[in-house]
């Protein structure tokens, strides 16, 4: 199978940032400037009042969660499953009323499952059944969805679901199970199948500080739309997008040890945990000589967290440092990582992650609704800062993130097929 799997229906929304910034222009103010401390303005910068307002205005535009409709999308299918006519949508099991999940033993392995959940005998899990389990087991967590092949994330959500293990346990698995393979609806055409897999160990037990793998039915407080993979999609906190199977219909428990991911055939590193990287949100194209340059952006928080974000301005006519492909010797300047927002935006009802004993948010205090620590792994952190003024000229502006082990992006894993993390570069013209 090729990497360009159904290229005609492989829509990757590169306009995500454009759309998002238009939306932000509409007035969402989610992070108060109160989060910024005085050092932000720096010693050398001595910004004018006007420029301070500019950075403040930029920071006020930041919105933590992405509205579901503003997510970037990576999808395949002819037709796209959620675009089927209403009648077909029902027979395909892609409405909440008609949705069924099968949990089966792989017939080609000796996996022992005592009570498989089958369509044929009416034991498949229904949406009502899932909601019954949700009453007791539902969890919520922040996660940024990122395609490993894209240079920027698709969106950040508050995802709600039932841990996959709770459903697997109802099937009474007994022995000879090493992996789960899972499948999205594929128009009854094997060529359209989109698959992911995990070790059974990861599903049954969570790594320290990481939320469970969930059967997800809500995004930012609303039922997950067809476009985002509803009625139910897989959401795996630490993984890149391709394991987060949309329109989920089937889970196979197998004793085969190998992965079965569709993305394996596309030269992707399918075991990769999300990487730490910084990106710009405001991308200044023009500046005025001697005036500090206000910057905002975000860092995707990978497996080893984010301790710092830095920016660097380099005159285009000056050679780049030799034998330093990752610019480790460049004069980077620290930016400020912003605290958790009060209002998370993203269309979340009330905007806040309020206390909700019924559905706790991983890493948040259930009484206060505030995070225990910040930033949260596998989500985002916003950053902001001012670079000191420079003489007129043409410049390259870059940003990078440093993880909690002190390792700077794109290290320690610079290879693209385990997830893009190249240092972003923006051209800037400074005039007198
Ligand atoms: N069924 C199905 N699930 C899928 C895909 C797909 O094509 N079909 N694409 C995957 C890939 S490669 C990515 S990056 C994410 C993107 O999620 P999003 O479109 O909700 O942003 O969905 C994943 N889940
Ligand atoms: Mo992807």
Residues 316 and 399 in one domain: yes
Does the CB atom of residue 183 touch ligand 1 within 6 A?
A: no
Does the CB atom of residue 159 touch ligand 1 within 6 A?
A: no
The pLDDT assigned to 193 comes to 95
Domain boundary among 266, 287, 308: 266
The pLDDT assigned to 321 comes to 87
Ligand 1 geometric centre to CA of 13 (Å): 12
For residue 17, the domain's CATH number is 2.60.40.650
* Domain ranges, residue 82: 75-266
Ligand 2 geometric centre to CA of 417 (Å): 11
380-387 vs 336-337, strand pairing mode: antiparallel
For residue 178, the domain's CATH number is 3.90.420.10
Does the CB atom of residue 173 touch ligand 1 within 6 A?
A: no
**Buried b / exposed e across 389-405, counting CB within 10 Å, b at 16+?**
bbeebebebbbbbbbee
Residues 202 and 183 in one domain: yes
The pLDDT assigned to 376 comes to 98
Which of 147, 189, 228 for mutating ligand 1's site (highest number of atoms within 8 Å of CB)? 147
Does the CB atom of residue 73 touch ligand 1 within 6 A?
A: yes
Whether residue 348 lies inside any domain: the answer is no
Closest by Cα among 243, 280, 19, 7 to 147? 243
Ligand 2 geometric centre to CA of 149 (Å): 6
214-219 vs 222-223, strand pairing mode: antiparallel
Kindly report the protein residue whose alpha carbon is nearest to atom 12 of ligand 1: 242
Domain boundary among 266, 300, 324: 266
CA distance 335 to 268: 32
Place of tokens 């933590």: 64
The pLDDT assigned to 366 comes to 85
Whether residue 346 lies inside any domain: the answer is no
Blockwise average pLDDT, block size 10, the chain, 432 residues: 31 30 29 33 41 76 96 97 97 98 97 98 98 96 98 97 98 98 96 97 97 98 97 98 98 97 97 98 94 96 98 97 95 97 90 77 91 97 96 98 98 97 97 95
CA distance 330 to 392: 20
Residues 247 and 299 in one domain: no
Ligand 2 geometric centre to CA of 130 (Å): 27
Ligand 2 geometric centre to CA of 249 (Å): 19
Does the CB atom of residue 156 touch ligand 1 within 6 A?
A: no
Residues 244 and 289 in one domain: no
Does the CB atom of residue 228 touch ligand 1 within 6 A?
A: yes
Instruction: Name every residue whose Cβ is closer than 8 Å to that of residue 101 and which is 6 or more positions away in sequence.
Output: 117, 124, 125, 130, 167, 215, 232, 248, 249, 250, 251
């Amino acid at each position: 199978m090729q990497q360009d799997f159904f290229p005609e229906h492989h829509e990757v929304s590169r306009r995500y940032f454009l759309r998002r910034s238009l939306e932000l222009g509409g007035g969402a103010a989610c992070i108060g400037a109160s989060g910024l401390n005085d050092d932000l303005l720096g010693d050398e910068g001595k910004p004018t009042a006007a420029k301070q307002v500019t950075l403040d205005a930029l920071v006020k535009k930041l919105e933590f969660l992405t509205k579901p409709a503003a997510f970037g999308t990576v999808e395949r299918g002819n037709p796209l499953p959620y675009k089927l006519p209403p009648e077909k949508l029902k027979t395909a099991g892609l409405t909440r009323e008609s949705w069924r999940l099968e949990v089966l033993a792989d017939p080609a392995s000796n996996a022992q499952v005592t009570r498989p959940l089958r369509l044929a005998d009416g034991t498949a899990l229904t949406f009502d059944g899932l909601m019954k389990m949700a009453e007791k087991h539902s969890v919520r967590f922040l996660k940024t969805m990122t395609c490993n092949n894209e240079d920027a994330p698709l969106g950040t959500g508050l995802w709600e679901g039932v841990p996959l293990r709770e459903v697997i346990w109802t099937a009474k698995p007994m022995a000879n199970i090493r992996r789960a393979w899972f499948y999205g609806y594929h128009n009854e055409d094997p060529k359209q199948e989109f698959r992911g897999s995990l070790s059974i160990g990861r599903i049954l037990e969570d790594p320290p500080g990481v939320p469970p793998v969930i059967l997800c039915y809500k995004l930012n407080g609303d039922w997950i739309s067809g476009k985002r993979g509803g009625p139910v999609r897989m959401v795996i906190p630490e993984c890149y997008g391709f394991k987060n199977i949309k329109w989920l219909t089937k889970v196979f428990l197998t004793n085969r040890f190998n992965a079965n991911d569709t993305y394996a055939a596309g030269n992707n590193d399918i075991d990769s945990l999300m990487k730490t990287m910084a990106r710009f949100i405001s991308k200044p194209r023009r500046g005025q000589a001697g005036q500090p340059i206000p910057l905002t952006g975000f860092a995707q928080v990978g497996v080893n967290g984010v301790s710092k974000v830095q920016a660097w301005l380099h005159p285009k006519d000056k050679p780049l440092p030799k034998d330093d492909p990752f610019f480790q010797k460049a004069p980077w300047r620290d930016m400020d990582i912003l605290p958790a927002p009060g209002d998370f935006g993203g269309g979340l009802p009330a905007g806040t992650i309020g206390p909700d004993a019924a559905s706790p948010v991983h890493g948040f205090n259930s009484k206060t609704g505030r995070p225990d620590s910040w930033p949260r792994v596998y989500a985002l952190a916003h950053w902001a800062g001012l670079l000191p003024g420079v003489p007129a000229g043409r410049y390259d502006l870059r940003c990078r993130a440093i993880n909690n082990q002190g390792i700077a992006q794109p290290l320690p894993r610079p290879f693209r097929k385990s997830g893009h993390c190249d240092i972003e570069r923006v051209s800037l013209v400074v005039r007198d």
